[in-house]
Every structure is written in structure tokens, then in C-alpha cells.
Amino acid sequence: MEHIDDNQNENLTPKSEQQDATLTPENLANEASETIENAESDINFKNRIDLSELQKGISLIKGEISKVIVGQKEMIDMLIASILANGHSLIEGVPGVAKTISAKLLAKSLDIGFSRIQFTPDLMPSDILGTSVFNMKNSEFEFKEGPIFSNMILIDEINRAPAKTQAALFEVMEERQITIDGQKFKMELPFIVLATQNPVEQEGTYRLPEAQLDRFLFKIDIDYPNVDEEIEILNREQNLQGGEKTDQITAHLSKAQINKFQGLVDQIIIESHLIKYIADMIVSTRNNPFLYLGASPRASIAILKASKAFAAMSGRDFVTPEDIKRATIPVLQHRVIVTPEREMEGVTTKQIIRQIIEAVEIPR
């Protein structure tokens, strides 16, 4: 009879039993932790565009504004996004909800030129743009720059001025230049216009022309604060003890930094199917039976720029559908007009735009 060695018996142990012997609780735990680490390394990605300086700058601006303004986080985000997207903003709200002070604080938190223009019914275009004055010494006309020659312009109560004064802003808002006496004068960049208006008062006001409304990137609606925010406002006013609110604000970002950040936002990546998503929503406004006037191609470009700004503010170098949806209402609500029949029924532009957002299929 053939003799089988004991050593060979050890080697004849089934493979499954050998494998089970290695699967101790410690080994299982180690394998699980390695799997999780590998998964996390796959999920964590590095931006192709360095947005760290931009994120830090935004955080500093928000911190400065929050020293004075209570709440209104969405408004502050919109104002910052409009700067990053190199666009203008129209701020609308009832008197006393911090429209003007918010714009002043934003300007003071930036190390740039600031000019404020109070629009009145007797304001002339030359009061804004400037005029040519005859110099008696050298017998020549010299151009005296108006208050529009600055980096950030706050136009308070923009709907107080008549149409001819409003029209004076068309060229400078769109092309960042003015033409006077056949000469072109370029604006220093960055050039941002922030305008305020009161939607309630009608006496002594003029409706803004559609051509001018279309030049604003955003229309930002400001609502009343809630009870907790109202209490905080009163407490801060009590603690101020007669001091000036804007004295607390420190300037952080220079002109060069803002121009650099605007360049970074232009580089934010957006996929072709998301570009089609924007186009589909814009075309839907033109075919909507509830709208008398749809959105123009300028509106689609505005959504593109605004969605890139929101992506950069979120620390991403690519646009998502949520960025586009967030930009759609503030970009479109002042550009489209509801039909008279629907307006009499109380239908608003916001309601129709929300319906369009829900109806257009989100690309996957």
C-alpha cells in the first residue's frame, strides 16, 4: 500500500479553508478601510482652475458687509456674483430695507473708485456723463468728467429721472465707454453700475425703458427681515451709540484682483448640453402664451455668465444645472413682460419663469 506523507496531507487542505483562515476580523477591517480610502481618493478632485484666492476674497467681502447688514444673504451673493460676472444690478425694494447702504458697503469693502448719483426729475445727461467747458486761458474746450467716471457707480432712485437721462446710460452700461463731441472716452475697469428703485411709489417716477432694463444682469428683489433679524438690527443700532456704520468696513480687494477674478470666471467650464439647456429655457420664454415679450440673446449670455459666477463662488470650476436654475429668475424677471390679460389676473413674471424652469428637461 502506498504511504502518504503527513506533509502532503497538510498541502491537501481545501483552498476554501485556507482562504477562510486568512479572513480574520482584523484583515477584513483593513481591507474595508483601504476600500473606503480608495473611494474617497476617487471622489476628491482638484479644480483645473485655482479658485482659492477668489474664495478667500469673497469670504472677506461677506465678512465686512455682515458687520452692518443683518440677513439679506441672497442679495449679497447676487451683488458679488454680478461683480464676478462683470454685470450691473438693479436692486428693488420698499424704502428702508438697506438697498443703498448695501451697495455703499460693498463698494467700501473693495479698494476701488466709488461714485454716487442721486437721480432727480431735473437731472440732465451732462450731469452724469460730463460736459465740454471752454477754457479762457488757452481758448480751447476741455472735457470735464462727470460722476460716471469711476469703478462702481451707485445710482439711487434710478426711476426718478426722465427718459433722456436714462438713455444717456445705454452706451456706458453696455460698452463701458461714452461718446461726447465725437470723442470716445473709455471707462476704467472694473466698471459696475448698481441702481436702486422703489416699486411702490409712482408719483414723480418714470418707467425704465426696456432697452435699459435689458442692460442689467440681475434684478434683485429685497424683502422685509424676519422677527429675529429685526431684533438683531435694533440691538446693533442700540450698540452703535451714534457711530457711523461704514466706519467698521475695511477694503480688501484691489482693481487688479477684481479684474483677475473676472478673468477666472470667464474660464469656468460649461458642457455643451448645459449650453443647450440655457438656450431651451430662453426659447421657451419666446413661445410662452403668457408672455408678451420673451428674452433676448443678451439674456442667454447673462445666464451663462451668472451661472459661471455662482459656480466659482461655490468653489467649482464647472457649471451645474443648479447654477443655471439659480441664475434664471434674477436674470429674466426684468426682461420678460406678462400679457395684459394674465397681469390683470395677478400672474407675475416670477411665476411664469418658475413654470418654464420646471417644464424644461434638465440634462443628465
| Residue predicted with more confidence, 98 or 286 | 286
Answer whether residue 210 shows pLDDT above 70.
yes
What is the arithmetic mean of pLDDT over 328-334? Answer: 93
3-state class (DSSP) for residue 156: strand
Asked if pLDDT for residue 346 goes beyond 60, the answer is yes
pLDDT digits (tens, 9 = 90+) for 152-167: 999 988 888 888 888 8
pLDDT value at position 12? 43
Q: What percent of the chain has pLDDT over 90?
A: 32
Question: What integer is the mean pLDDT of 183-190?
Answer: 88
Helix (H, G, I), strand (E, B) or coil at 348: coil
Higher pLDDT, 32 or 54: 54
| Averaged pLDDT for residues 245-254 | 80
Long-range contact set of residues 354-363: C-beta below 8 Å, sequence gap at least 24: 354/329, 356/281, 356/284, 356/285, 356/288, 357/281, 357/325, 357/328, 357/329, 359/284, 360/277, 360/280, 360/281, 360/284, 361/280, 362/277, 362/321, 363/273, 363/274, 363/276, 363/277, 363/321
What's residue 27's pLDDT?
53
Task: Quote the pLDDT of residue 250.
Answer: 82
Q: Which residue has the higher pLDDT, 96 or 196?
A: 196
Domain boundaries, the chain: 48-240, 268-364
Q: Please write the tens of the pLDDT for every residue from 232-242.
A: 888 888 887 76
At 181 the three-state DSSP class reads coil
Chain centroid offset of residue 220 CA: 10
Q: pLDDT-based confidence at 1, cuts 50/70/90?
A: very low
Pick the CATH number of 48-240 from 3.40.50.300, 3.30.365.10, 1.20.210.10, 3.40.630.30: 3.40.50.300
CA distance 291 to 341: 10
What's the pLDDT at 97?
A: 81
Residues belonging to the chain: 364
Question: Which class would CATH give 268-364?
Answer: mainly alpha
Task: Flag whether pLDDT at 302 surpasses 90.
Answer: yes
The predicted model gives 130-147 an average pLDDT of: 84
- Give yes or no for residue 9 having a pLDDT over 60: no
What pLDDT shows up at residue 32? 47
Beta pairing partners, 110: 253
Question: Which pLDDT does position 168 carry in this prediction?
Answer: 85
The whole-angstrom separation of Cα 108 and Cα 102 is 10
What is the mean predicted confidence (pLDDT) over 295-319?
Answer: 93
Instruction: Tell me the per-residue pLDDT of 41-53, one tens digit each, with 9 for 90 and over.
Output: 444 557 787 888 8
Range from 31-40, 119-128, 222-231, 293-302 carrying the lowest mean pLDDT: 31-40
